[in-house]
């Protein structure tokens, strides 16, 4: 019993360490335009939600969203709420309808990134009346969504390795 708790603690510690590392990549300035477009925390939240139970993945998404809110200095809790709702939806979809495979997780990352980008565009560009907002959306946001979903495949394999440490398996695991 103590071994299971220890493995679970290690697993969640690795999840948090990965989220903090990717948060540092997301906030660090970079010269490569491909890396500056990626929303690093969305794939981590979706992949963890794909493998884990609903409540722990929602708390993890809330943590990642609060990190993101801290870095962008906008309304505190905006990204946290969006990531938490997306994580709950992804967890429900994965538990009830499909198995977490690279293609299904990548498509969920694409959908989550698109939802986040559209909400971000609507609340921070359209409502403020910024001129040329739609051209900004087309030029930058769509490439960020595509780059984030491609990055989701790499995150899937990394989180899958961490998940294998877990003593508690989901209903779709055959071990």
118-168 pLDDT per residue, tens:
887 777 666 666 676 777 777 777 878 888 888 888 888 888 888 877 665
Of residues 153, 86, 74, 78, the one with CA closest to residue 113:
86
Measured between its terminal Cα atoms, the distance across the chain in Å is 19
Q: Structure tokens of 124? A: 């921070």
Give the chain's radius of gyration (CA, Å): 16
Structural contact between residues 46 and 109, judged by C-beta atoms closer than 8 angstroms: yes
Which pLDDT does position 86 carry in this prediction? 92
Distance, in Å, from the CA atom of 100 to the CA atom of 47, rounded to the nearest integer, reads: 8
Does this model's pTM top 0.95?
A: no
pLDDT band at 55 (very low <50, low <70, confident <90, very high): very high
Which pLDDT does position 174 carry in this prediction? 47
Which pLDDT does position 126 carry in this prediction? 64
Chain centroid to Cα 98, Å, comes to: 18
Distance, in Å, from the CA atom of 85 to the CA atom of 109, rounded to the nearest integer, reads: 13
Of residues 15, 19, 39, 17, the one with CA closest to residue 112:
39
Contacts of 131 (CB under 8 A, 6+ apart): none
Residue-wise pLDDT tens digits, 102-115:
888 888 888 888 88
């Amino acid at each position: 019993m103590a071994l299971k708790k220890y493995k679970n603690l290690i697993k969640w510690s690795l999840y948090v360490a990965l989220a903090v590392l990717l948060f540092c990549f997301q906030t660090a300035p970079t010269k490569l335009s491909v890396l500056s477009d990626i929303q690093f925390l969305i794939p981590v939240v979706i992949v963890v939600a794909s493998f884990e139970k609903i409540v722990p993945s929602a708390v993890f998404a809330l943590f990642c969203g609060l990190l993101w809110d801290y870095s962008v200095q906008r309304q505190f809790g905006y990204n946290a709420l969006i990531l938490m709702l997306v994580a709950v939806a992804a967890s429900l979809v994965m538990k009830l309808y499909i198995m977490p495979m690279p293609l299904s997780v990548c498509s969920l990352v694409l959908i989550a990134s698109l939802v986040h980008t559209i909400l971000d565009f609507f609340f921070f560009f359209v409502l403020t009346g910024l001129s040329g907002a739609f051209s900004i959306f087309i030029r930058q946001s769509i490439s960020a969504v595509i780059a984030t979903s491609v990055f989701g495949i790499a995150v899937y394999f990394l989180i899958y390795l961490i998940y294998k440490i877990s003593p508690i398996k989901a209903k779709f695991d055959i071990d």
